[in-house]
Each structure stands twice: as structure tokens, then as C-alpha cells.
Structure 1
Amino acid sequence: MTATDWTTDVEGAGQYAEVNGINLYYETHGSGQPLILLHGGLGSGEMFGPVLPALAARHQVIAVDLQGHGRTADIDRPLDLQFMADDVAALIDHLALDRPHLVGYSLGGGVVLRAAISHPTKIGRVVAASAHIRSDAIYAEMRAQQGQVGAAAAEFMKDTPMYQLYQRVAPRPEDFPRLLDKIGALMAQDFDLTEEMRGLQVPTMIVAADADMAPPSHYVEVFKLLDGGLRDGGWMNEGRPKGGHALAILPGLTHYSIFSSPLFATTTLAFLDEPAN
């Protein structure tokens, strides 16, 4: 799969859950301890097609389409990471899941971090990939590009995998310009989760590509907030972060290839399935 191909041959059992006033679409794959999988902006669960078989071989993967994305129709509220984190928490209750793991990429990574902050007792472990915790962490040229995202860009995106996926699966394909407006407004917001990350209660792995949207140093900074990278780990792991947190910088990848990489799946499973300290 290339970065320009978001189709998938992986078929799951698709269902809808009515939570928080939104009809949330999710697909279930495999069996085992539940793992909720959250896609990136302008995508859907189908983005993970290349890695789903590996994840579903060890877990019951519940791939969710977030508000206004994929097969989940938009509703009359802003696109807000905290609202979407609350949707995921409500889905956990709706499905009566016992502390599922949360794995999210980019937009989905921001959602799982906020879910871990707001709903720690509902969650097992968290993997947040390519998700920065400060709006000023990403490269200046990327912020400038994000500032141009809006309905007016829809016409220029017709050859992109984001547009083609949306047209294929969305309940209202004509809503794509509206989604661009909402995601543009979301990306324009300033935010800083530094203090919230310091007190994170859920064992969390921060994952990034070595050529991601923010520099590797940002993800190291996040790891330090989680008590990581401050001392030698010790022969018996006694110096590792007290909360069970971890950091992975994956080589040879970018923000646009990490979510479909076998390295991402392998690293995620290694963290989720390791014995608790």
C-alpha cells in the first residue's frame, strides 16, 4: 500500500452505536482483549487496512469512524478532540468493554490522549502515534498549510485518497467541504497539554516517525513529561518511567506512512501485550 491508496481488502463487521447524540460507526475484527483503533484526520478506519490483520490476530480490534469521518455522519457541533474522546468513552460503556486499549494516529492520537486524561479508569493502555501535545510543536510550514484547509480546498483535493475514500463510504458525500471547514477550524486552535500529560494515569506509548510533522525532539519532550528519559533504566527496569510509559521513534517513516507500516503494528503489539510492571 502506498500513501496514496487508502482502500482495503479487510472486511469487518460494521455496526452503529448511538452515543452522545452521534451515530458512531465501528467495525470489529479478530478476538482477544479489545483494542479501539482511531484513524487520522480526513480518513477512516480503512486507513489501517495493511496493519489490521496483525492487530486482529492478537486483539479484538474495534476500528471507529470519528465524527464526520468515514461512515459516521457529521452532527451539529464543532469538531473537537475532547468531544470525540467523550464519544469513545461512551462507546466503551455502550459496548460494556472492560478497560480496552486505545490506539490512535494523528487526529486519533490526539483523541486517545484526551480520553486517557479524562477517562483513565475506562482504559487499559494507550498508543498515541504522530500526535503532538502543543499546537506550536509542528513545523512552521505545516502550520501554514493547515491554515489553508477549508471548504474552498475541496475542488483541489479530488485526486487525493482522503476525498476518494469519503466519496466511497460517507453517508452524505456532499458534506466533504463542510468536513474541511471543521477540520481547518480544529487545526487553527492553539492548545497545550503539557500539564495534563505530567499527571497521566494510563500507561502510554508515544510513537512517531523519524520524519514526522513535529521533530523527534518534541516526542522526547513528551516522554520526559511522563517520567521517561531522565535516568538510566536499570538492570531490572527499575529506572523506567514509573507509570509504565514508553517511547518509540520509528525509522524510515513519515507522518503519511507510519499508520500503515508493519513497524507500527509490531511496536504497538509489543507495548500492549507486555506484562504489567
Structure 2
Amino acid sequence: MGGYADLRGVRTWYEAEGTGEPLVLLHGGLCTNDTWGALRADLAAAYRVYLPERRAHGHTPDVDGPLTYRDMAGDTTAFLEEVVGAPAHLVGWSDGGVVALLTALARPGLVRATAVIGANFRPGPECFADPGMLDAMTPGSAGMAFFRELYAAVTPDGAGHWPVVAEKVVDMWRTQPTLDTGDLARIASPTLVMAGDDDMMTLEHTAALYDAIPHARLAVVPGASHLVPLEQPALVRRLITEHLTHGAEVETMMPVRRAASPRGAGTGP
């Protein structure tokens, strides 16, 4: 079921289904809730799943001025307060992952656990495996056709508004986000960092994201790209639900990063 909520002056479309602990799914840039199709039903069988579409995405209209991750994180905070009404798990894919990280930083009391897929904490030119792809992402390009069709099918602004939104999003990717490892170190929620082994973000950037966040887990999915939730939905769902269930409660036979005692203490293999 879907409907609108007026949040911070943004008429925000969202859908909700299932019962249980609240779980908010945050879609990727230039995408809609349709891209969660491979995971949605299974997650809704275990959680009360909420799916907001951010400003200028899907059924939610564009706003005046540029798009920023911080504004969208503010919208997400308002969504948690006014629609969900309780702390929730956040699962964010790509841009949705950036929004999840910013929300967890700004309002830790509203975030129970976080899972981010193909997320970044620095602008595209600093973390994309192929930064030149930004130059190729023009509104009418063949590479943008998938996103253009998603947008045109449901936007209340009309298909003719696509070039405006596409340029806003690409401009955002060029210059945002601008977090550093000190910011990430303040994230309090247990966080799963997931990526494909051939993701849009470099593996070095993904590893730096994981390494900077306390209580984090890392999952690099073999044989997968930035579209890993579509390519390997069963594995992605299992990794997410295991993380949301157990959070920071990780026990291994030979901890190093998670060792409570100084490195080198304890028993070896």
C-alpha cells in the first residue's frame, strides 16, 4: 500500500507492508521502489518494511534548488519520526546507503542497525572505479535509459522534467558526500558494509568505509556488481537479516580487529 506524507515541505511517497520490527529500505540514486522487488517480499515476511521515495525520485516530486545527501537524510529523519514513529533498521543501496550513513550520524537514537550496499563516503571522482563514467551520464545517453524509463513512468513532474533531475543527481555525485573517517568513527549503530567484487566503488574505498566504522561487518560478494541485490537476492537477504538479528554480537575463533585484549594476546591456531 502506498501514500504521501508531507515531510519538511516535501510531499514524500512511501509504501509499507509486513509486521514486526520497523525496517526502512532506501533505494539508489535515480531509482524507485521497484528496484527492491527481489528482496521486498522476503523482508516483509519478517519485518514491518517501509519504502520512502526521496525528493525528485519516483512518485516524490522535485524541489527547488540542488539535491544534497544531507537534505535527503533530513527527510529520512522526518520520515522516521512522523511515519515510522520509532527507531528502525536502515538498509540503503548506493545513494540510499549514503543517506543511511548520514541519518545514523545525525540521529543515532533513531537507528537500530544499518546495512549499506555499494555506498560511498566521498564524491564520485575520489571513489568510483571509473570516474569517467560521470562525464558519460548525460540525460539523453544510452547508459541513462534505464533510469530515464523508471522516472518517466511514475514522476508527478512529468517525463519532460527528466533532464533537470538527471543533471542535479550527477552534479551531486561529482561533489558529495564529503564525510571523512573521523565522521564515520562516530556511527554508533552496528553496520554491515556490502559490495560486489566488481562494484562501482573501488574495493579500497569500500574497505576504508568498513575500517572506519566501529562495530562494522564487511561482505564482498563474489561475482557481483553494483546491482548485487538484483543479481544475488537470496544471499543479500540472508546477509541483511543475519546482521539485523545479531548486530554487533560477533564471535569468531581468532578475533583480531574485534579482539577485546591487545593484539597478540590469547591463543593461536
TM-score, with structure 1 as normaliser: 0.83
Instruction: Report the Cα distance in structure 2 between the residues aligned to 1:68 and 1:146, rounded to whole angstroms.
Output: 19
Corresponding position: 1:208 with 2:208: no
Corresponding position: 1:154 with 2:139: yes
Q: After superposition, where does 1:176-195 map in structure 2 within 5 Å?
A: 176-189=162-175, 191-195=178-182
Instruction: Report the Cα distance in structure 2 between the residues aligned to 1:171 and 1:148, rounded to whole angstroms.
Output: 27
Does the CA-based 8 Å contact 2:228-2:236 persist in structure 1? no
Structure 1 residues 34 and 15: alpha-carbon distance in aligned structure 2, compared to 1, 3 A threshold: same
Q: Report what 2:94 is aligned to.
A: 106
1:275 Cα deviation from its structure 2 partner: 6.1
Q: Report what 2:227 is aligned to.
A: 256
Instruction: Report the Cα distance in structure 1 between the residues aligned to 2:231 and 2:74, rounded to whole angstroms.
Output: 26
1:154 Cα deviation from its structure 2 partner: 2.7
Structure 1 residues 96 and 166: alpha-carbon distance in aligned structure 2, compared to 1, 3 A threshold: closer
Residue range with higher mean Cα deviation, 177-186 or 209-218: 209-218
Q: AA paired with 1:198?
A: A
SS in 1 for 2:140: helix
Q: After superposition, where does 1:45-60 map in structure 2 within 5 Å?
A: 45-60=33-48
1:97 Cα deviation from its structure 2 partner: 2.4
Q: Report what 2:60 is aligned to.
A: 72
Instruction: Report the Cα distance in structure 2 between the residues aligned to 1:275 and 1:206, rounded to whole angstroms.
Output: 12
Structure 1 residues 259 and 177: alpha-carbon distance in aligned structure 2, compared to 1, 3 A threshold: same
Instruction: Report the Cα distance in structure 2 between the residues aligned to 1:225 and 1:39, rounded to whole angstroms.
Output: 23
Instruction: Report the Cα distance in structure 1 between the residues aligned to 2:155 and 2:8, rounded to whole angstroms.
Output: 20
How well do the aligned residues superpose, as a CA RMSD in angstroms?
1.8
Indicate the percent of aligned positions where both proteins have the same amino acid.
28
Q: AA paired with 1:38?
A: L
Q: After superposition, where does 1:204-243 map in structure 2 within 5 Å?
A: 204-227=191-214
Instruction: Report the Cα distance in structure 2 between the residues aligned to 1:158 and 1:109, rounded to whole angstroms.
Output: 22
Structure 1 residues 38 and 188: alpha-carbon distance in aligned structure 2, compared to 1, 3 A threshold: same
After superposing on structure 2, the runs of 4+ consecutive aligned residues of structure 1 that deviate more than 6 Å are none
Corresponding position: 1:274 with 2:241: no
SS in 2 for 1:95: helix
Instruction: Report the Cα distance in structure 2 between the residues aligned to 1:251 and 1:159, rounded to whole angstroms.
Output: 26
Residue range with higher mean Cα deviation, 157-166 or 124-133: 157-166
Structure 1 residues 161 and 123: alpha-carbon distance in aligned structure 2, compared to 1, 3 A threshold: same
Structure 1 residues 223 and 158: alpha-carbon distance in aligned structure 2, compared to 1, 3 A threshold: closer
Q: Report what 1:241 is aligned to.
A: none
Instruction: Report the Cα distance in structure 1 between the residues aligned to 2:4 and 2:133, rounded to whole angstroms.
Output: 34
Q: AA paired with 2:128?
A: I
TM-score, with structure 2 as normaliser: 0.85
Q: Report what 2:128 is aligned to.
A: 138
1:222 Cα deviation from its structure 2 partner: 1.9
Does the CA-based 8 Å contact 2:190-2:247 persist in structure 1? no
Q: AA paired with 2:169?
A: I
Instruction: Report the Cα distance in structure 2 between the residues aligned to 1:159 and 1:220, rounded to whole angstroms.
Output: 28
Q: Report what 2:258 is aligned to.
A: none
Instruction: Report the Cα distance in structure 2 between the residues aligned to 1:257 and 1:163, rounded to whole angstroms.
Output: 21
Structure 1 residues 223 and 257: alpha-carbon distance in aligned structure 2, compared to 1, 3 A threshold: closer
Instruction: Report the Cα distance in structure 2 between the residues aligned to 1:218 and 1:205, rounded to whole angstroms.
Output: 15
Instruction: Report the Cα distance in structure 2 between the residues aligned to 1:260 and 1:88, rounded to whole angstroms.
Output: 27
Q: AA paired with 2:222?
A: P
Aligned residue pair count: 244
Q: AA paired with 1:272?
A: L
